[in-house]
Protein backbone atom coordinates (compact mmCIF):
# COMPACT_ATOMS: atom_id res chain seq x y z
CA UNK A 1 0.00 0.00 0.00
CA UNK A 2 1.11 3.54 -0.76
CA UNK A 3 0.78 6.27 1.84
CA UNK A 4 -0.99 9.56 0.96
CA UNK A 5 -1.84 8.52 -2.57
CA UNK A 6 -5.04 10.02 -3.88
CA UNK A 7 -6.69 8.20 -6.69
CA UNK A 8 -8.22 10.16 -9.53
CA UNK A 9 -12.01 9.91 -9.61
CA UNK A 10 -13.22 7.82 -12.51
CA UNK A 11 -16.67 9.27 -13.13
CA UNK A 12 -17.59 10.54 -16.57
CA UNK A 13 -17.35 14.26 -15.70
CA UNK A 14 -13.77 14.08 -14.39
CA UNK A 15 -12.66 11.99 -17.36
CA UNK A 16 -14.23 14.52 -19.73
CA UNK A 17 -12.59 17.46 -17.92
CA UNK A 18 -9.15 15.84 -18.02
CA UNK A 19 -9.54 14.99 -21.69
CA UNK A 20 -10.64 18.54 -22.52
CA UNK A 21 -7.66 20.01 -20.66
CA UNK A 22 -5.27 17.64 -22.41
CA UNK A 23 -6.69 17.95 -25.90
CA UNK A 24 -7.49 21.66 -25.90
CA UNK A 25 -4.28 22.73 -24.10
CA UNK A 26 -6.13 25.01 -21.72
CA UNK A 27 -3.17 25.23 -19.35
CA UNK A 28 -0.92 26.29 -22.21
CA UNK A 29 -3.24 29.10 -23.23
CA UNK A 30 -3.70 30.25 -19.63
CA UNK A 31 0.06 30.50 -19.24
CA UNK A 32 0.36 32.32 -22.56
CA UNK A 33 -2.35 34.79 -21.53
CA UNK A 34 -0.53 35.45 -18.25
CA UNK A 35 2.73 36.07 -20.12
CA UNK A 36 1.04 38.46 -22.54
CA UNK A 37 -0.58 40.36 -19.67
CA UNK A 38 2.88 41.01 -18.17
CA UNK A 39 4.23 42.10 -21.55
CA UNK A 40 2.19 45.31 -21.51
CA UNK A 41 2.81 46.28 -17.87
CA UNK A 42 5.25 48.86 -16.55
CA UNK A 43 8.70 47.24 -16.15
CA UNK A 44 9.72 46.45 -12.58
CA UNK A 45 13.44 46.96 -13.23
CA UNK A 46 15.59 50.02 -13.86
CA UNK A 47 18.71 50.58 -15.93
CA UNK A 48 20.88 50.76 -12.79
CA UNK A 49 24.11 52.50 -13.59
CA UNK A 50 22.27 55.23 -15.48
CA UNK A 51 19.07 55.40 -13.42
CA UNK A 52 19.05 55.46 -9.62
CA UNK A 53 16.19 54.00 -7.62
CA UNK A 54 14.47 55.88 -4.81
CA UNK A 55 16.25 55.84 -1.44
CA UNK A 56 14.42 55.54 1.84
CA UNK A 57 14.64 58.62 4.07
CA UNK A 58 16.02 56.33 6.80
CA UNK A 59 18.77 54.92 4.56
CA UNK A 60 22.20 54.83 6.19
CA UNK A 61 25.17 54.48 3.90
CA UNK A 62 28.75 53.58 4.69
CA UNK A 63 30.54 55.61 7.37
CA UNK A 64 33.06 58.32 6.61
CA UNK A 65 35.20 60.62 8.72
CA UNK A 66 34.79 64.31 7.97
CA UNK A 67 37.69 66.73 7.80
CA UNK A 68 38.04 70.45 8.30
CA UNK A 69 38.61 72.56 5.16
CA UNK A 70 42.29 72.72 6.15
CA UNK A 71 42.51 68.93 5.73
CA UNK A 72 42.77 68.08 9.43
CA UNK A 73 40.46 65.35 10.78
CA UNK A 74 37.59 66.46 12.98
CA UNK A 75 37.91 63.45 15.30
CA UNK A 76 39.20 64.47 18.75
CA UNK A 77 39.68 60.85 19.94
CA UNK A 78 37.08 61.05 22.71
CA UNK A 79 36.16 57.39 21.99
CA UNK A 80 32.45 57.97 22.61
CA UNK A 81 31.61 56.25 19.33
CA UNK A 82 33.71 53.24 20.34
CA UNK A 83 31.90 53.05 23.69
CA UNK A 84 28.38 53.41 22.27
CA UNK A 85 28.80 50.92 19.37
CA UNK A 86 26.64 47.86 20.20
CA UNK A 87 28.51 45.66 17.71
CA UNK A 88 31.96 46.76 18.96
CA UNK A 89 32.95 47.47 15.37
CA UNK A 90 34.95 50.66 16.05
CA UNK A 91 38.60 50.71 17.13
CA UNK A 92 40.36 53.99 17.94
CA UNK A 93 44.00 54.59 18.82
CA UNK A 94 45.04 58.10 19.83
CA UNK A 95 48.09 60.03 20.92
CA UNK A 96 48.52 63.48 22.46
CA UNK A 97 49.97 66.24 20.33
CA UNK A 98 52.48 68.93 21.23
CA UNK A 99 49.73 71.51 21.72
CA UNK A 100 47.97 69.27 24.28
CA UNK A 101 45.09 68.08 22.07
CA UNK A 102 44.46 64.44 21.23
CA UNK A 103 44.10 63.21 17.68
CA UNK A 104 43.58 59.75 16.26
CA UNK A 105 46.43 57.72 14.87
CA UNK A 106 44.14 54.88 13.83
CA UNK A 107 40.39 54.92 13.35
CA UNK A 108 38.91 51.64 12.08
CA UNK A 109 35.34 50.57 11.54
CA UNK A 110 35.00 46.85 10.85
CA UNK A 111 32.23 46.94 8.26
CA UNK A 112 31.62 43.19 8.62
CA UNK A 113 30.56 43.78 12.24
CA UNK A 114 28.77 47.11 11.75
CA UNK A 115 24.97 46.98 12.01
CA UNK A 116 24.44 50.53 10.64
CA UNK A 117 22.53 51.68 13.70
CA UNK A 118 23.85 55.26 13.58
CA UNK A 119 24.64 55.47 17.31
CA UNK A 120 28.23 56.47 16.56
CA UNK A 121 27.04 59.40 14.47
CA UNK A 122 24.68 60.55 17.23
CA UNK A 123 27.34 60.20 19.96
CA UNK A 124 30.07 62.18 18.17
CA UNK A 125 30.37 65.65 19.79
CA UNK A 126 32.19 67.23 16.81
CA UNK A 127 30.15 65.64 13.97
CA UNK A 128 33.20 63.79 12.65
CA UNK A 129 31.25 60.69 11.56
CA UNK A 130 28.87 60.85 8.62
CA UNK A 131 26.73 58.07 7.23
Asked whether the predicted pLDDT for residue 107 surpasses 80, the reply is yes
In a domain, 44, yes or no: no
Q: CB burial class (10 A; 0-12, 13-18, 19+) of residue 89?
A: buried
Domain count, the chain: 1
pLDDT at position 27: 80
In a domain, 18, yes or no: no
In a domain, 101, yes or no: yes
- Tell me the per-residue pLDDT of 38-72, one tens digit each, with 9 for 90 and over: 999 998 899 998 998 888 888 888 888 899 999 88
pLDDT at position 112: 92
Q: Which domain holds residue 84?
A: 64-130
In a domain, 16, yes or no: no
Cα–Cα distance, 29 to 24 (Å, whole number): 9
Q: The domain spanning residue 116 has which CATH number?
A: 3.30.70.3270
In a domain, 33, yes or no: no
In a domain, 117, yes or no: yes
In a domain, 23, yes or no: no
Amino acid sequence: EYVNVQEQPMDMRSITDRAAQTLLWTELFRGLAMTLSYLFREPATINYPFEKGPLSPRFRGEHALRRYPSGEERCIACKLCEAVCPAQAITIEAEPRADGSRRTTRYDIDMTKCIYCGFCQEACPVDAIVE
